[in-house]
Structure 1
Amino acid sequence: MPFERRFAAAADAGFAGVEYAAPYPYPPARLRALLRDAGLRQVLINSPAGEPGSPERSGVACHPGRAADFRAGVERGLEYATELGAGLLHVLAGIVPPDVSVEHAFATYVTNLGWAAERAHGTGVRLVIEAQNGRDAPGYFLRTQARAAAVAQAVGHDRVGLLLDLYHARITEGDPVRALHTYLPYALHLQLADPPDRTEPGTGDIRWPRVVAALRAAGYEGWVGCEYAPVGETVAGLGWVAQVAASAEVIP
């Protein structure tokens, strides 16, 4: 449905918060009004990125020579996140340019992210980074949870956390529960979808009751974003929530 109608629809469906990639086409005041009227919290937004199909479509954080563009994007992202009350800004890593080595991209990315973390300090906004699998995001710099965790460690886990997407983790790491055991200590936010088609839980190959049981056992108290394309109608597809929660109660 049209973007501005989604807020009330999300609240009606039972959601307490929302996330979306790009608030930038809308004035912050308009978005604040939509959030207020629906009684919702803004949880997360992405840093600005280029047009679909462009080399900058996933950001420029790992692009040597683009520090000024990266910093301008982070400034804009922090401005919007602060205005909207979003506690998390997802800083996109970017697609590695064809003439740049992985080592050079890593050094560039860590340097840029370190600057962004310093800039975010004291704003009330925390930075998150996300590993994305190579099938859905060819060339994306953060291809594995291990690389994302290494970046967070290099910059400082107290300043940068993981956006741990269990759909990507299932494809790149195999067992999402094992990925949770390893990387949840670094995570500030979770997202989910079911492989292979990135649809709602229960339509693919992840055993979601095990996932929910693992999250409960770990004491995770953060947000979980539903980043999937429903098989059918959106609200009807939300039946998985109660089913998974009930099933997880009986998982030892």
Structure 2
Amino acid sequence: MPRFAANLSMLYPELDFLDRFEAAARDGFRAVEYLFPYAYPALELAARLRANGLQQVLFNAPPGNPDGSERGLASLPGREAEFRAGIARALDYAQALDCPRIHVMAGLVAHGSTRDAVQAIYVQNLRWAAAEAAKSGRDLLLEPINTRDVPRFFLNRQDHAHAVIELVGAPNLKVQMDLYHCQIVEGDVATKIRKYLPSGRVGHLQIAGVPERHEPDVGELNHAYLFAVIDEVAAQCGWDGWIGCEYRPRQAAAGGTSAGLDWLRSGNFQDPPARRPGA
């Protein structure tokens, strides 16, 4: 059975953020992720993790403008100094939280520009950042995000993310494979799991129902089947990562997140079908 981490930026929305750690532990989670830690002192977050027996497995590097209008700086020309300062800040938090992974958001392609025009600066920034992260044994992650939710986001496809990793050439640079985004942009999710998980370049998975981004037992993706595929492939290749539950609970009222966890509590995950000969 896969290992699941609660995304505290989305789950338990009725609670203050710092109270969500206890709620996640009470529901049986042993790990958490969230978007950004920077509004809180690192020592306070670390204390919440310890008090609730939780492991921090992922958070994002600073996204740029604090008003939320930017979605990362890695591909933005002329912002190199700010990008480097953000990576340094993220690495300080990762040290305090004992977090092994940081998601580096690619950013938005400016109007009048193209992905091809900014890819060189993206690769250059990532090469520098990966070298810095390696000094403390951290992995950096790239996440392809669909352009329906985030128009003009630089990175949208799994094959593009893996191509960038090849160009950067850093062993601690990996893909954050969000099955929600993957389904919206590409589909054929099970085949992509079978292709990319054995590569050793997938550092983290995330899930949500498609298209509403609610619990994974609602929508067009059969997550029970996909969990079984992940288990099968992981057993073959030794992948031991986490799956982040990055979805918005259907019930936003008090207790709604916990009530919506029947998909996890049931453990009713099916076996994948036998592979075709030669597949």
TM-score by length of structure 2 reads 0.86
Summarize the alignment of residues 131-170 of structure 1 with structure 2, pairs less than 5 Å apart: 131-156=144-169, 158-170=171-183
Equivalent of residue 225 in structure 2, options 206, 210, 218:
210
Equivalent of residue 20 in structure 1, options 34, 40, 44:
34
* Deviation of the 1:104 alpha carbon: 2.1
Q: Quick check: 2:21–2:48 contact (8 Å CA) kept in 1?
A: yes
Q: 1:53 and 1:3, CA in 2 relative to 1: closer, same or farther beyond 3 A?
A: closer
Q: 1:115 and 1:203, CA in 2 relative to 1: closer, same or farther beyond 3 A?
A: same
Summarize the alignment of residues 118-137 of structure 1 with structure 2, pairs less than 5 Å apart: 118-137=131-150
* Deviation of the 1:249 alpha carbon: 4.1
Equivalent of residue 59 in structure 2, options 33, 45, 63:
45
Comparing both structures, which one devotes a greater share of its residues to helix?
A: 1
Q: What CA distance in whole angstroms lies between the structure 1 residues aligned with 2:116 and 2:128?
A: 19
Q: 1:234 and 1:107, CA in 2 relative to 1: closer, same or farther beyond 3 A?
A: same
User: Does residue 188 of structure 2 align to residue 175 of structure 1?
Assistant: yes
TM-score by length of structure 1 reads 0.95
In the alignment, which residue of structure 2 is the partner of 1:200? 215
Percent of residue pairs bearing the same amino acid type: 42
Q: 1:46 and 1:53, CA in 2 relative to 1: closer, same or farther beyond 3 A?
A: closer
* Deviation of the 1:221 alpha carbon: 1.7
Q: What CA distance in whole angstroms lies between the structure 2 residues aligned with 1:96 and 1:183?
A: 26
Q: What CA distance in whole angstroms lies between the structure 2 residues aligned with 1:238 and 1:179?
A: 26
Q: What CA distance in whole angstroms lies between the structure 1 residues aligned with 2:272 and 2:204?
A: 25
Give per-residue Cα distances to partners, 1:86-129, cap 9 Å, x unaligned: 00000010001113332221111000000001111120211011
In the alignment, which residue of structure 1 is the partner of 2:277? none
Q: What CA distance in whole angstroms lies between the structure 2 residues aligned with 1:62 and 1:190?
A: 23
User: Does residue 244 of structure 2 align to residue 225 of structure 1?
Assistant: yes
Q: What CA distance in whole angstroms lies between the structure 2 residues aligned with 1:52 and 1:218?
A: 40
Q: Which has the higher contact order (CA 8 A, sep 6+)?
A: 2
**Amino acid paired to 1:152:** I
Secondary structure (helix, strand or coil) at the match of 1:60 reads coil
* Deviation of the 1:157 alpha carbon: 5.3
* Deviation of the 1:141 alpha carbon: 0.3
Give the unaligned 5+ runs of structure 1.
none
Name the count of aligned residue pairs: 249
Judge which range, 206-215 or 133-142, deviates more. 206-215
Equivalent of residue 268 in structure 2, options 242, 246, 252:
246
Q: What CA distance in whole angstroms lies between the structure 2 residues aligned with 1:9 and 1:67?
A: 38
Q: What CA distance in whole angstroms lies between the structure 2 residues aligned with 1:175 and 1:240?
A: 22
Let me know the Cα RMSD of the aligned residues. Answer: 1.4
Q: What CA distance in whole angstroms lies between the structure 2 residues aligned with 1:4 and 1:100?
A: 40
* Deviation of the 1:209 alpha carbon: 2.2
Give the unaligned 5+ runs of structure 2.
1-14, 275-279
Q: What CA distance in whole angstroms lies between the structure 1 residues aligned with 2:128 and 2:109?
A: 19
